[in-house]
Amino acid sequence: MALSQANVFSQLSWQEIKIVEHAIHIRNYAPREPIFKQGDPGSGMYIIIEGRVGIFLDIPNQEPKMLSELSEGDFFGEIALLDESPRTAAATAVENCIIIGFYRPDLMEILKTKPVLGSKILLALSEVLAIRLRSTNNELVKVSRVLEDKVVSPENE
């Protein structure tokens, strides 16, 4: 999977992709090996090159609940590039995985030495966040409409 397929890097030229390639880390994970745990300080994003990754939510006194399963080309944890707050869910390899890791220190280093490239990555990250925010707003509007209908309908009946 080419690095440029990830939307954070999709706007970059091939020379810029080459620079990012020097900054990223390629890691191998065995089945059921944790990539990060819920509550760990977030420090970067991951792009799956090969294999499947499960995103789990830890619930006290219960088995962890699988929220989604990601596969080749999918990416996760990109908000941690901007924010060091703890991970809200855990990521675990479902099978043998090869994963690209791009971390906050790598982004900071690029921002320091290649500010134009760093700004492009930050802009792409902002676009990802803007799309997510818009989608969350739409979901919120839908939910509030359903709630309004539920509140209004008993009076009509």
Partner 1 sequence: MSSQKSVQIASNSVRFFHQSLFKTLVYFTLLILILLGSYRAFPLVQDALFFLIIASILTVILNPLVDWMESSGIRRMYGALLVFGGIFTLIGTGVVKGIPALLNEVGRIKDVIQQNSATDSLDSLINNINSRIAQYIPNFKLDMDIISDLSAQFFGQLGSILAGALDTFTTIIFILIITMFFLVDGQRMMKRLIETVPNRYFEMSLNINYRTKQQLTNFLRGQLLAALGVAIQSIIGLHLLNWIFDANISGVFLIGSIAGLANMIPFVGPFMGMIPAIIVSLFNNLGDPIAAASFYYILHIVIMFFIVQMIDNNVISPIVVSGSMEMHPLTVILLILIGSQIGVLAMFLAVPGWGISKVVIQEVYQGLKGHRLI
Q: Residue 73, interface with partner 1 (CB under 8 A)? A: no
Q: Any bridge partners for residue 46, and if so which?
A: 76, 101
Q: Residue 150, interface with partner 1 (CB under 8 A)? A: no
Three-class DSSP category at 40: coil
Cβ pair 68, 27 in contact under 8 A: no
- The pair of three-digit structure tokens given for residue 121, joined into one six-digit string: 């990555």
Q: Residue 85, interface with partner 1 (CB under 8 A)? A: no
Q: Among residue numbers 16 through 35, which ones bind partner 1 (CB under 8 A)?
A: 22, 25, 27, 29, 33-35
Q: Residue 103, interface with partner 1 (CB under 8 A)? A: yes
Cβ pair 91, 77 in contact under 8 A: yes
Which residues here bind partner 1, judged by CB under 8 A? 22, 25, 27, 29, 33-36, 39-41, 43-44, 101, 103-105, 108-109, 112-115
